[in-house]
Amino acid sequence: MIRRKVLIVGLDGAPFSQLLGQMQEDFPTMWQLARQGTFGVLWSCDPPITVPAWACMMSGKDPGQLGLFGFKRHRGYGYDDYGLVHSKLLPPGMLWDWVAGHGGSSVLLGVPPSYPPPAVRGVSLSCLLTPPGASPVCSPASVEQTLRALAPDFVFDIENFRSLSDTVLLERAVQGLKARFRFARALAREVPWDFFVMTDIGTDRVQHGLWNNDRDWGEAVRAYYRLVDEELGRWIEELPDDTCLWIVSDHGAQACRGTVSLNEWLRQHGWLKLRKEPRGPQALLPSIVEWKQTIAWAEGGYVGRIYINVRGRQPEGIVDPADFTRVCAELRAALAPGLTDATGARIPVAVYSPAELYRECRGFPPDLFVYADQLRIRVVGTVGVRDASAPEKESGRDRANHHHAGVFISYDPKARASGEVPQPVPLLSLRQYVESQLLGDTLTIGS
């Protein structure tokens, strides 16, 4: 049975490299927890993206086992047969299910994907995937009244955060941060719980919008994290003394050095055929593709996703299924020299198949994943750009890109401080540590 309380505070996208270097000076609450506990790199999944990463952390399964590879989920092999990920895609046996099976209660606040809010033994609140005006956003639905009373300024995400001015973005992020922690602290006081997990999406949003340069995330981002640290300090003062506390991120972040269009590269090298020459940058819509002459196409994101146009699988596929493996190998060989940016400089790429990344594969994964310059460069789906380079993301500026190296800080009042773990801890292993703490065990992390 459950013997101890565990609280996880998730800081979406918090990078180990930046946070560690400034923790002692700028973030005294996190520094004290790290000094008295254990901390290090929490190594994300592939791809290191918010929705699959949190689901992996809470399930102990990789994206292939979950069939979740990003914010969107393909529902079949059609060229536009996809929709947003939602909570009903999660498998039985998530961490909160395990807690309930051991007699405990959970509180989940904004843990992707949690729209619609899953029914749990306890309380759940929806996440950044929540559509505008959606209801209910809490389970049980009655909790929504408490949310509106305590935090009327609560938002699930910062709308159009990539197109806001720097000042407005920071103001809205801070407003959301304070409302989120205000509601979380109130629930922690008023609702019985054994396991409590909340995430703050603001850390991710200010990094994408306000990151400064290669070496430093900048004063605006640092100021936001200072407020996070202050909110953490206030909450910790209210917690029972025996509570185990985790500060974790689902992935890390780094300065974004630009974007490249994988579809433009495919087009220029004969893998993708359009019905007519584009007059300028545009999204790759199925209607502009000459599918009967197209071998492969791609979707953008923090990583690129390539799909082979297979006969009998795609609606207008042309690649014989018997040639699938050969075509993938040829495409990988063609990409091996890398892409080029607007100046003609080489951009190194790494290409992976799902079989190389996952223990098994469910759903409709891409046939190949493409990482550009170790995720320093974002891959976009645009066509009609020069030399496969694009000046900015299709939906607005993006000053940060993702990185595998997230962060964890674990404080267990019954364990001896052990300091920094020298090797990265896999994100998928976090669940087993939390389960052990809930059952009353003390941990040696990373052994």
pLDDT on residue 393: 46
What letters, b where the CB count within 10 A reaches 16 and e where it falls short, cover 8-33?
A: bbbbbbbbbbbbbebbeeebebbbbb
Q: Which residues of the chain have pLDDT under 70?
A: 342, 387, 389-396, 447
Q: What is the pLDDT of residues 143-154, one digit of tens each?
A: 999 999 999 999
pLDDT on residue 394: 45
pLDDT on residue 437: 95
Rounded to 10 deg, the angle between the 28-36 and 219-238 helix axes is 60
List the beta bridge partners of residue 125: 109, 138
Q: What is the pLDDT of residues 24-58, one digit of tens each?
A: 899 999 999 999 999 999 999 999 999 999 999 99
User: Count of CB atoms within 10 A of residue 424's CB?
Assistant: 17
The answer to whether 296 and 381 are in contact (CB under 8 A) is no
pTM of this prediction? 0.95
- Angstrom distance (rounded) from CA 442 to CA 433: 9
- Angstrom distance (rounded) from CA 78 to CA 196: 39
What letters, b where the CB count within 10 A reaches 16 and e where it falls short, cover 303-335?
A: bbbbbbbbeeebeebebeeeeeeebbeebbeeb
The answer to whether 275 and 288 are in contact (CB under 8 A) is yes
The answer to whether 51 and 70 are in contact (CB under 8 A) is yes
The 3-state DSSP class for residue 348 equals: coil
pLDDT on residue 390: 59
